[in-house]
Amino acid sequence: MRTYDGSGDIFSQGVRPEMVAFLTRGYTVGQLMDDDGKGQILSLGIPGDALGLEHLYLREADYGTRVLGTAEVALVSRRDLADLASQRPAIALAFAVSQAIDAAITREWLRNVGSRDGLRRIAHFLCEFACRIDARGLKTDDCYELPLSQQQIGRATGMTAVHVNRMLKTLHTAGLIERSWRNVRFPRWDRLREIAGFSDAYLHGGAPLAEAPARA
């Protein structure tokens, strides 16, 4: 088990990792960085997620995985995990399902950036986040702690931080969200989903994998 306090890379882009990580506390982002230090956020990891399962098959990490704030991960040797998967078909199936769901989320993020306007992008991003948090039982007192800054949300949705701020204010003014620092509530959830055009079918239930090896 390893704890990251503040920030840090679990996996670095372009480096061959020897581990797979299971996120037990905190949040991460998967990001693809440019030479100038800027880049696109490709994914958001939440507690229960398996991070880097592709390292079982690929030679190097083609994107980086970075923690947001404080996070705790269980690190398992990719070789040990590959051996476990070969011996336990149920574990291998769980890994395959996790990767398939990750791919489905990536496809939806691509559609979000490519075919939705700014307001619908932010609404959809928030709806997905809420559904994933609900599936893991992580909501506290009807409130969600959003771990990303507005700049980071922009990097995930293809928008500037200024545009993200405007869209959040629009949703707030319409009574669709309530914000206090990074805590957010959705008092008109059905209307927010309607604006986003959101269906959670592509999340396929979001079953956690953080305890998968321990259950083998």
User: Which domains, ranges and CATH numbers included, belong to the chain?
Assistant: 2-88 (2.60.120.10), 112-203 (1.10.10.10)
* CB environment 28-40: b (16+ within 10 A), e (fewer): bbbbeeeeeeebb
Count Cβ atoms below 10 Å from residue 182 Cβ, excluding itself. 12
Q: What's the pLDDT at 212?
A: 37
Q: What's the pLDDT at 213?
A: 38
Longest C-alpha distance within the chain, in Å? 55
102 - beta bridge partners? none
Whose structure tokens read 């336990």?
Answer: 88
Q: What's the pLDDT at 111?
A: 97
C-alpha to C-alpha distances, 103 to 96, 124, 203, nearest whole angstrom: 11, 17, 10
Q: Which residues of the chain have pLDDT under 50?
A: 210-216
pTM above 0.75, yes or no: yes
